Amino acid sequence: MWGGCFNQDTASSLAEINASINIDKRMFKEDIDASKIYAKALMMADVINGDDYKLIIDGLQEVKSEWENGTILICPKDEDIHSVNERRLRELIGEAADRLHTGRSRNDQVATDVRLWMLNNIPQLLNLTAGLIEVMIDSSEKNIDVLMPGYTHLKRAQPVRWSHFILSHAWYLRDDADLLKVFLKRTAVLPLGSGALAGNPFPIDRRAMAKELGFLDITMNSMNAVGNRDFIAEFLFWCSLCGTHLSRLSEDLIIFNTDEFGFVSVSQQFSTGSSLLPQKRNPDGLELCRSAAAQFIGNSTGFLATLKSLPSTYNKDLQIDKKMLFESFDLMSKTLEVLIGTVQTLIIDAKRCFAALNVGQLTTRLTYWLVKRGLPFRQAHHVAGRAFAIAEEKNTSIDLLSEEDRLNICDLLGDDLSEVWNFEAAVEELETSGGTAYSSVMEQIDLLKKWLQSEIKE
């Protein structure tokens, strides 16, 4: 493809690290589809005639069939997907194949292929993310009456519904999905027609090519077009952010699955055993999902480090982009699939969840009770905290303090406090939008369902 001015063979060591065919061969469809559209643009611009165009289109279809059937042969000198397809096309149709690359560079070719591959495949991640949200919604509906402690700093804070907890993770994913949709629009910009860096000398219709390939726009600077990999950097960042959210979900479920908590049980389908301890069922699926975040962050950071010192336009350093892209895509797909299955088959132990509640977690409710009786919040906070401290000193719980002790703290505590020490009531009073009351949780479920219907299934 490029050896005209060379009279020496490439060193084997360079040839080995230069070749990317084992990585980028998964873009065979995109390379062929883009080549078909480019051939049409050349014909419409009177650069190639109709007979050559037909030969090229038929030949490319035959090459595509060979890839799909697994009969394509890759030769030792094939550097990448582009060289395989071009070589095989020439073997099939002869000299007409040599006209296909007129005005085109592998620089704008690969930039087009990888964008097209992402547009064809990234929506799978959008659907998987939506699928995980759906099983979270299902879990929240089935377990709407399950009460459990909510935590800050891993210390019991206030009672909440299981539904409120699991939906807290669903909202992270909703934002991830929205961000992914924005990213897809930013990716749908066609570089084809930019040449190596300076543009195309033939009157091809770039906007027509963009429309036929499903792009929303074309690049407006050829130097930027061939050297721009921001869309991959953005996707790798998206994986690191979404992966972080999935890691936090995994961590919560791993903790809740421990014998000490026992709030949930991970099904045997998504657990593994021990080579020594016969009784063990380890949440290895969740642990692997948690660890995946490290690889996402590593790929994102590593690729940004690759980009940071590159001079303008295309440099071969950019060849690493597809390795990181495909690795992150594949791992994210599997991570989401594992989490969908794990949450879908998760068993919630309502009794263990409720047993973990204690009246100390209602101290905030006592604060609210005092506020409703006219005490300024800061004073009410101090009074409730003092009551809790005295209960600790007396080795009892706050609801069992004597009337004398309560009156010594604050006159208002002499009233009947029995209504304060009620977990269900404590949850139900938090009914503002976003709260953990039944009505508020149902509002969340309704909003997420509407979002899924309008933004994902439209």
- The catalytic site residues sit at 153, 274
SS3 6: coil
Cβ(98)–Cβ(54) below 8 Å: no
Phi, psi (rounded to 5 degrees) for 78: -75, 115
Phi-psi category of residue 432: left, alpha or beta, with phi > 0 → left and psi -120 to 50 → alpha: beta
Q: What is the CA radius of gyration of the chain?
A: 30
Dist CA 352 CA 36 (whole Å): 62
Which residues, 6+ apart, have CB-to-CB distance to 218 below 8 Å?
Answer: 189, 190, 191, 193, 206, 207, 210
Question: Diameter of the chain by CA atoms?
Answer: 102
SS3 265: strand
Half-sphere exposure of 249 (CA within 13 A, CB side): 30
Structure-block tokens of residue 48: 């190639």
Q: H or E stretch including 26?
A: none
SS3 151: strand
